[in-house]
A and B are shown apart, each in its own frame.
Chain A
Amino acid sequence: MSSATQIRAEETVLTPPSRWRGLLRRHATMPAILAVVLLGVYLWISTTDLDDIEQRALEADKLLRAVGEHVTLTVLTTVLVVAIAGGGGILLTRPSMRWLAPFATGLANIGQATPAIGLLVLLSIFLGIGFSTTLICLVAYSVLPVLQNTIVGINQVDRHLVEAGRGIGMSPLAVLLRIELPLAVPVILAGVRTALVLAVGVATLATFINAGGLGSLIVTGIKLQRETILVTGAVLTATLALTLDWLGGVISDLLRPRGLD
């Protein structure tokens, strides 16, 4: 009886306190700050006398559509980038393909190093203007961090673990799915977060090739010298970027494998 209680006591000591509480503590600040900022902008706009142009530009419908377009662009970019760069990263860490990795990261580097607006304009010359061209530009622009982090994340997994996995008879695929990827998740997700934030920023340029997004607010604000429109567009863009980054943080905390510190 007493030994059983002892064992149970020891187990309680070892079980980490619920991960939800830690999650709440680490991630509660950002939403609060964002809410305060949004509320502040809202109060400022609603207490200001708006002229016709401003009223038309700041209609709720229009704002929602701009946010929607922006989010769609960003989310689609993320999905494509994770598929392309994640898959590519996995392939480029297989023993038979490893030699290709420097070339691939070099190529991805070109996409990243070209100024975004230049890339966008260049692509629109070849592909025409519109949504899909913007998407291609965004993907090209944000592939690098995910690709590089996937490669680094998988390569930093202790080679002896891979050897041990093969040694006890796991297939290469099982080693990848059960050992390499779970242990590489924190690094890969850090890359995805970076890519997301980049994509939100670059997506403001979509307006130049008629693909909408929050960039149109900013551009209108600058052209027509309406501070309210400019600030609203800028604040919404920043809020969206920070929200997605926050979400990425929460997800990567949830997916972090146990047993790593």
Chain B
Amino acid sequence: MSRDVMIDLQQVSKFYRGQKAPVVENMSMTIQQGEIVVFVGPSGCGKTTTMKMINRLIEPSSGRILIDGTDVTALDGNDLRRQIGYVIQQVGLFPHMSVATNVGLVPKMLGWDRKRVEARADELLHLVGLEPAIYRNRLPRQLSGGQQQRVGVARALAADPPVMLMDEPFGATDPMTRDRLQNEFLRLQEQLRKTIVFVTHDFDEAIKMGTRIAVLGERSKIRQFDTPESLLANPADSTVAQFIGRGARLKQLDLRRVDEITWEDVPLIQPDKAANGAKRRLEQAEGSSALTVDADNRPLRWVNAHDLAADAGTLDGAGQTVTTVEPQATLRDALDAMLASRDGAAVVVDEQGRYAGTVTLDGLMQVIHHTPEQEEPGAEVPGPRAGVARTAELTPEQR
């Protein structure tokens, strides 16, 4: 195993007095350093209880929990919690304290001096995209819901904890804000590489956020613990499949990015060149369509032999409109672009908008039927997710 175990749950159970059945029963799980493990399951399945036992907001009845090799029960609960970031759905910013005070609470408890606490608060506000000069003295109620949740994340990060627990952190925001917060958080995680336990009941969020997903059943029983890709491709049982819901194939498209699949090449024509030459190239290529591009290789329109024949003089305005995607776009975006284009193909362009290749429906079909297991057999933990921040590399062959 290439990475270190950060959190180790060993046979953890939680009983409450007066209740026959345990809330959590013999749960064992190891979480690697730097991954986001999502607990997902129906409400009341014990996922939040399990999470809260990690920072001992709830004391486990039996079993052991190790963080970075240390048994959490050996530490003082308050000290432990100061070293673990904690974000909840209701945000929990203290309404009578300024944004900066809220963010600086943990460093202050750790005994940092005032200057350092203030500097750290500013740094974190900046990190989560809130200009410190504007926001540091505001009260929580003067912020929008999304901004409040950003401050909540900043507060959790304040003492730079290696481990973070997040309990439906984006659950109370509207879908658009949630999507933005999720993307921002994933981008942040690219830099910070925290070990995160993330609880949600929204499977789509789990797929988006998780390095690995634990689908939990009654009493926090692990029904399946795997990467989003494998979970979608091979649900362990009918309950998991039911939980994934419809459209597992479409959800798989969300997980893969355009730069992970092979692109195809089409003939390029620069309109100012002679149309005759273009026609010849089209015939040579055997394909039905070619792409007109401008002097900088930016795609303009799809043309076929018919367009060339009809208007031999110039290609201006001829042919069909082109839909483009960037290499970092998901395959779902690519599919959308393909459906919008008459030719069933989307043109991949680089950051400057220059032609890089095309992706087609056939290409997508191949990806979907080629499950991750077959690609990387035995790999338990995948490499870093092809993240938003990953730069597009265009290999010469692809050009």
Contact = CB atoms under 8 A, between A and B. Distances in A.
A258 interface: yes
B306 to A, nearest CB: 56
A72 interface: no
Interface stretch (A28-36, A44-52, A168-176, A189-197): A168-176
Nearest to A178: B94
B89 to A, nearest CB: 8
Nearest to A171: B78
A167 B95 CA distance: 17
A81 interface: no
A170 B142 contact: no
Contacts of B134: 7, 10-11
A167 B57 contact: yes
Interface in B79-105: 79-83, 86, 88, 90-97, 105
B57 to A, nearest CB: 6
B78 A170 contact: yes
Interface stretch (A57-65, A155-163, A230-238, A239-247): A155-163
Nearest to B138: A14
A14 B133 CA distance: 13
A259 B86 contact: no
Contact of B140 (A168, A182, A259): A259
A160 B94 CA distance: 10
B92 A169 contact: no
Contacts of B300: none
Contacts of A257: 95-96
The binding surface of chain A is classed by DSSP as helix
Nearest to B110: A169
Nearest to B133: A7
A11 B137 contact: yes
Interface residues of A, number: 26
A25 B344 CA distance: 71
A205 interface: no
Interface in A1-32: 7, 10-11, 14
B215 interface: no
Contact of A169 (B106, B131, B140, B141): B106
Given A169-B80, A169-B106, A171-B78, A259 B95 contact: yes
A14 B55 CA distance: 37
A58 B265 CA distance: 110
Contact of B86 (A158, A168, A174, A260): A168
B139 A259 contact: yes
A163 B141 contact: no
B379 interface: no
B88 A158 contact: no
A165 B82 CA distance: 10
Contact of B96 (A11, A170, A171, A259): A259
A98 interface: no
B83 to A, nearest CB: 8
B86, B92, B97, B138 pick with most chain A CB within 10 angstroms: B92
Given A160-B92, A259-B140, 14 more contacts: A14-B137, A158-B92, A161-B92, A161-B95, A163-B57, A164-B88, A164-B90, A167-B165, A169-B81, A169-B106, A169-B109, A178-B94, A259-B95, A260-B95
Interface of A: 7, 10-11, 14, 158, 160-161, 163-171, 174, 178-179, 182-183, 257-261
Rank and list the top 9 A-B pairs by shortest CB-CB distance, nearest first: A164-B92, A169-B82, A257-B96, A169-B81, A167-B86, A160-B90, A259-B139, A259-B95, A259-B96
